[in-house]
Homo-oligomer: A and B are copies of this chain.
C-alpha cells in the first residue's frame, strides 16, 4: 500500500516497469504527513490531492521496485506500507 500524490505518473511507471499484475488508484485522498498537510479545499488550485495506490503482488516484485518507490517518496513525500494478503 502506497501513499503518493501528483507524482502518480512516476509511481505508475515504476509499477509498470516492475511488471506488477495490476494496481488500483484512488485519487482525491487528503491527509497530513510529517511534512505536509493536503486538504480537499485546495484541489481546485491544481495543487492536487493525494492518491492512494493499492497493488496486490508477489513479494519479489515488491523487492524489485522498493528502491525506485522510496526514491520518489523521499523527494515528494508519501508513505508506503506492506501487508500480507491472500487471494480470495
Q: Contact: B52 with A81, CB < 8 Å? A: no
Please name 11 further chain A to chain B contacts, defined as beta carbons within 8 Å, in addition to the given A52-B54, A82-B88, A84-B84, sorted by A numbering.
A1-B54, A21-B33, A23-B32, A24-B29, A25-B31, A26-B26, A26-B28, A56-B79, A62-B88, A82-B85, A83-B84
Residues of A17-63 contacting chain B, CB below 8 A: 21-34, 40, 50, 52, 54, 56, 62
**Contact present for B28 and A28 (CB under 8 Å):** yes
A28 nearest CB across to chain B (Å): 7
A1 to chain B, nearest CB (A): 7
CB <8 Å contact, B34 and A22: yes
Alpha-carbon separation in the docked complex, A88 to B2 (Å): 9
